[in-house]
Amino acid sequence: MTKPSAQTDPDLARKAFADRVRKIRKDKGMTIQDVADRAGMAVSTISKIERNLMAPTYDRFSQLARGLDVDLSELFAEGGDEFNAGEFAICRSGDEGYLETENYTYEMLFPEVRGRTMTPMLGTLKPLEKMRFDRMVSHPGEEFLFVVEGRVVVQSEGQDPVVLRAGESLYFDSGRGHLYASAGDNPARILCVCTGLERQDDRD
């Protein structure tokens, strides 16, 4: 029998994420207040993440990376190397960084590649009626969504809901509040690529 790992067990993955966040902060000699001030997040939110009481959505863990002054991928994997011009990186099945939240499953591709200009992820979405939202997600940059399996409903501020089927895609300004969910009775699979969060001009 295969032993569960952070790549296959949601509880282990959330704990590993929380432990990495806390370790990075302490290694940098930062307080939770320091991170909160830099990230523009509430102290209570960061505390809950570190104590594994909350699994953050993409916008929050990208804010958290900024607050900790680390590459976003460092929240999903220890170690790693900068991506340089001319290099060639492969992400094998099982190499993904994994995090499951209340509504989504994030599978961060190339978690050990630092300094990327794109953030590619696979994801699994629950049916809309099984999801619980307290707000829409928004973050700087642009976003590409491709439906791998199932049907996906996309809700976006100022737009009517859009339903995408397998093989269809969407490209949009991710600063606009948005939500994804499966439009069917079963979970849907997506490929999502975000840009704009790790550019040099954003770090200055």
Provide the CATH number for the domain around residue 16: 1.10.260.40
pLDDT reading at 6 higher than 70: no
* Residue after which a domain boundary falls, among 52, 75, 98: 75
* Whether pLDDT at 199 is above 60: no
Q: Give domain status of residue 194, yes or no.
A: yes
**Residue 102 placed within a domain:** no
What is residue 178's three-state secondary structure?
Answer: strand
From the number of C-beta atoms within 10 Å of its C-beta (0-12, 13-18, 19+), residue 179 rates as buried
- Say how many domains are in the chain: 2
In percent, the amount of the chain with pLDDT more than 70 equals 91
Q: Are strands 104-108 and 97-100 parallel, antiparallel or unpaired?
A: antiparallel
121 lies in the same domain as 189: yes
DSSP string covering 77-118, please? -S--EE--TT------TT-SEEEE-SSEEEEESSTTEES-SE
192 in the same domain as 123? yes
29 within some domain: yes
| pLDDT for the residue 1 | 39
Domain of 167, CATH number, reads 2.60.120.10
- Tens digits of residue pLDDT in 68-95: 999 888 999 887 888 888 999 999 998 9
| Confidence band, pLDDT 50/70/90 cuts, at residue 2 | very low
What's at 20, amino acid-wise? R
8 Å CB contact between 179 and 143: no
| Residue 156, in any domain of the structure | yes
pLDDT at 136: 85
Quote the domain boundaries for residue 177.
117-203
Shared-domain flag, residues 122 and 178:
yes
Q: pTM of the predicted model, to two decimals?
A: 0.83
Decide if 82 is inside a domain.
no
pLDDT at 7: 58
In a domain, 107, yes or no: no
Residue that finishes a domain, picked among 59, 75, 91: 75
* Mean pLDDT, range 37-51, rounded to an integer: 95
On whether both 128 and 191 belong to a single domain, the answer is yes
> Does residue 125 lie within any of the structural domains?
yes
Which residue from 162, 166, 156 is spatially nearest to 187, judged by alpha carbons? 166
Q: pLDDT tens digits for 137-190?
A: 888 899 999 999 999 999 999 899 999 999 999 999 999 999 999 999 999 999
| 109, part of any domain | no
